Amino acid sequence: MTPNDPMSAPCCQEILDRLHDYLNRRDLSVADRETVRRHLTDCPPCGDLAAFENALLDRLRQSAPCACPEKLRARVRALLDLS
Amino acid sequence: MPDARAEFKEKALPLLDELYGVALRMARNPQSAEDLVAETYARAWKNLDRFQAGTNIRAWLYRIMTNAFINEFRKKRREPEKVSMDAYDRVDDFHFFHKIASEASRAPDPVKDVVARLTNEDFQKALDALPEEYRAAVLLYDLQGLSYDETAQALEVPVGTVRSRLARGRRRMQESLFRHARDAGLVEVPS
């Protein structure tokens, strides 16, 4: 939050409503990203929550490293080359 | 259509690993996942004239894959999964964190003490346990980083439905993860 400008500072709930959009990195404008980033830096409770959610997402993404099996790769290549 | 075919090979083949990863989590079975991915590429290749150059090939492939999964692979199962959409009136997006903050006594640093100590298997189980339509939304948006629009296109539902499935899917995953953390003794909850 920006104490010097309370009228324009978003409240915590507004920020948390947009937290997943922020963490996904696809659905916020540059200006909105900056607003969320600044709030998370300035507001420790929201910052802690965001760090927790981000860590959960990271672990979730890393929990299933999947390499396509070679036989499937060969199958798909054959499909494209032979058609 | 030699150019389109060359472009497809160049852009679609490098996506095999991630498409297989999503297929595996959708179908929850390696052989079905392989068949699903092969079917996806076969359909894309056959319908290459419908792909507009410059559009997002990744989102297009996910759309084909989701369709193939829903229409072909899921049909083979005895009972389609039904999800009650009104299970939660007001979803707490941050259930896990709030449970730790309000009830648990043994996690002064929730990221290090809890998230880092959960196992990959805990995360996979939490994801695999989701009803199919929630799991698909979480896979595409949270794991693969598609946008809301791309996820909505892939699942052929409105963006509002994507948001609602994501919220419910995350809530259920967070409940599962909290149970795993409690069972592993990473958090202590007063009985």
Per-residue pLDDT tens listing for chain B (191 residues): 567 788 888 889 999 999 999 999 998 889 999 999 999 999 999 998 887 766 788 889 999 999 999 877 666 654 445 555 544 445 688 988 888 887 766 667 889 889 999 999 999 999 999 999 999 999 999 999 999 999 998 898 999 999 999 999 999 999 999 999 999 988 887 76
Contact check, Cβ <8 Å, B123/A60: yes
**Rounded CA gap, B148 and B108, in Å?**
34
**Nearest to residue A24, comparing CAs of B152, B143, B111?**
B143
Residue of B nearest to A73 (CA): B16
- Using an 8 Å Cβ cutoff, are A15 and A39 in contact? yes
pLDDT for B104 equals 65
How near does any CA of chain B get to the CA of A46, in Å? Answer: 11
- The fold of the B2-76 domain, in CATH, is Rna Polymerase Sigma Factor; Chain: A (1.10.1740)
How near does any CA of chain A get to the CA of B182, in Å? Answer: 16
Q: Percentage of chain A with pLDDT > 90?
A: 67
pLDDT for B82 equals 54
Lowest model confidence (mean pLDDT) among A6-10, A19-23, A31-35: A6-10
Cβ count within 10 A of residue A5: 8
B47 CB-near residues (< 8 Å, 6+ apart): B64
Pick left, alpha or beta for residue B80 (phi over 0 → left; psi -120 to 50 → alpha; otherwise beta): beta
Q: Is A2 on the interface with B (CB under 8 A)?
A: no
Q: Is A69 on the interface with B (CB under 8 A)?
A: yes
Residue B120: list chain A partners with CB under 8 A: 59, 62-64
Domains B2-76 and B85-183 share a fold: no
Q: Is B60 on the interface with A (CB under 8 A)?
A: no
Q: Which of A80, A81, A82, A83 to mutate to test the interface with B (most CBs of B within 10 A)?
A: A80
ipTM over 0.90: no
For chain A positions 22-41, those within 8 Å of chain B (CB to CB) are 24-27
For A34-70, how does the pLDDT look when each residue is reduced to its tens digit (9 = 90+)?
999 999 999 999 999 999 999 999 999 998 777 899 9
Contact check, Cβ <8 Å, A66/B24: yes
| Type of residue at B156 | E
- The fold of the B85-183 domain, in CATH, is Arc Repressor Mutant, subunit A (1.10.10)
Q: Any idea where the domains of chain B sit in the sequence?
A: 2-76, 85-183
